[in-house]
Structure 1
Amino acid sequence: MDSNIISHLEKIHESGTRDFRWENLRHLVKKYVRGNSVLDAGCGTGHMTLSLINAGYTVTAIDCEHELTSFTQSILEKNKQIASIYTMDLMDVKSLGKGIYDTVICLDVLEHIADDQTALNNLVYTLKEGATLIVSVPAFSFLYGLRDKKIGHYRRYNKADLLKLIENSGLELIKIRYWNFLGFFPLLISEKILKKQINEEFRYKKKNTFFHNFLNMWFSIVENNICFPVGLSLIAICKTPVIKK
C-alpha cells in the first residue's frame, strides 16, 4: 500500500480512538453480541474488529475498500491478533456462506448502499437460526443535507423505513432506539437553519480536554442507558427466526 495512504489511514484510526461517538457506540453494540462467531460488516480501519477479538470473539471482517481491509490486517498484526478479513461489498457477502455467524454487526453502512434491502437480505443469509443482527443508520430523512451528500449517503432513515427493511428481510425485531440525542439539535440548526455543514473536528480532540471528557461521560452514562425520543442515529437489534421442525 502507498505510504501516503497508510499515513492517512493511521491518522483516521488514531482519531477514532479519541472519538467519543465511536468509542461509546462500540461499547453499546457489544452488549448485544451473542454467540462466538461475529461478522463485522464494514470494518473501516478495524476498531470494532479489534475490540471484538480482544473480548474473545472469533471475527470475520469485511469492507468494500481494499485499503481498509489491508489496514485492518496490519492493525491486527501489530496487536498480535487474528481475524478472517475479506475485501467485498454487501452485494457479494453471500459468498461467505449460509448460516455461519452468531452475530452480524453493520454500523453506518446501509446508507452508503443504493439497494439497501438486498444488502440486508444478504447479511441475513449468513446468520444462523436465532442469531443476532445489529445495525445502525443515520436517523430522520428530513435531516438529509450537506454532510450526508459529502460522505456518500444515499439516504437517512425514518424509524418506519428501517422497520420495513427489517420486516422484509425476515428478521424479528428485538429492540430499536434512537441514539446521539445530544447531536440532534446542533445538526438540525446547522443543516436546516444556517444551511452549512456542521464542524465535527471537536470529536477528534485529544482525550485530556475537558470537553471530550464531558462528552465521553455523557454518552457512556446517559446516551447508552436512556432511550431518547430523537437522536442522530437509529440502532436496531434483531434476530433470525428459529424454524420449528
Structure 2
Amino acid sequence: MFDVLEHIEQDTETLVALRPLLAKGGRILITIPACQWLYGIHDRFLHHKRRYSSRQLRSKLVDAGLRPVRLSHFNTILFPLAVVARLKDKLFRGATATGRRVPPSFINSLFRNVFGSERFLLRYFNLPFGVSLICVIETA
C-alpha cells in the first residue's frame, strides 16, 4: 500500500480489514506521509486526510491486530527541502502548493538519485526522520 492509507478516513478500520487478507506468514508493505506538522496545501491538493508519526502508526497497527516488523522514516536527505517548501506554503498562503510540477529533468534526476540512495542506508538502520514512513507489517 504505497501512499494509500492517508487518503482513507477510516484508516484503523482499513487496517483491520487487511488482516484476514494476509496469507499465513504474509506481509504488507506500506508507505505514508510523516509529520503532521507538515500538513498543508500540498497535502490537501493530494487529497490527504492526515500525515502520521511513527508512534501513531504503530498504535493503529497494534489496535488493528497487526505487528510492525520494520518501521522507519525515509526521504530523509531531502527532508530539509520539503520543510522549507511546506513552511513557504504556510507563510505565504499561495493558491497552489510548492512542488506540484515535475522539475526540470536534470533537477528531477538529481532528486531521484539522492532519494534512491537511501535504500542503501535502510539496509543497515532505520532513519530517524523524513518526509515519509515505510513499514513492513504482519499479523500479530
Q: TM-score range by the shorter chain?
A: 0.7 to 0.9
1:129 aligned to which of 8, 24, 28: 24
Instruction: Report 1:224-235 matches (<5 A).
Output: 224-226=119-121, 227-235=126-134
Matched, 1:202 2:102: yes
Cα gap change, 1:211/1:150 in structure 2, threshold over 3 Å: closer, same or farther? closer
**Is the radius of gyration larger for structure 1 or structure 2?**
1
SS at match of 1:175: strand
Cα gap change, 1:213/1:230 in structure 2, threshold over 3 Å: closer, same or farther? same
Deviation at 1:194, TM superposition (A): 4.8
Cα gap change, 1:210/1:192 in structure 2, threshold over 3 Å: closer, same or farther? closer
SS at match of 1:224: helix
Deviation at 1:111, TM superposition (A): 0.6
Matched, 1:113 2:11: no
Q: Which has the higher contact order (CA 8 A, sep 6+)?
A: 2
SS at match of 1:154: coil
8 Å contact kept, 1:121–1:169: yes
Aligned residue-pair number? 131
Deviation at 1:211, TM superposition (A): 2.7
1:217 aligned to which of 96, 102, 113: 113
Q: Distance in 2 between matches of 1:235 and 1:113?
A: 17
Cα gap change, 1:239/1:148 in structure 2, threshold over 3 Å: closer, same or farther? same
Letter in 1 for 2:14: A
Cα gap change, 1:189/1:107 in structure 2, threshold over 3 Å: closer, same or farther? same
Matched, 1:158 2:57: no
1:237 aligned to which of 133, 136, 140: 136
8 Å contact kept, 2:35–2:131: yes
Letter in 1 for 2:47: G
Q: Distance in 2 between matches of 1:194 and 1:239?
A: 37
Deviation at 1:228, TM superposition (A): 2.8
More divergent stretch after superposition (191-200 vs 172-181): 191-200
SS at match of 2:80: helix
* TM-score (ref. length: structure 1): 0.49
Deviation at 1:212, TM superposition (A): 3.1
Unaligned residue ranges in structure 1 (runs of 5+)? 1-105
> Kindly, what percent of the aligned residue pairs are identical?
27
Unaligned residue ranges in structure 2 (runs of 5+)? none
Letter in 2 for 1:218: V
Deviation at 1:232, TM superposition (A): 0.8
* TM-score (ref. length: structure 2): 0.82
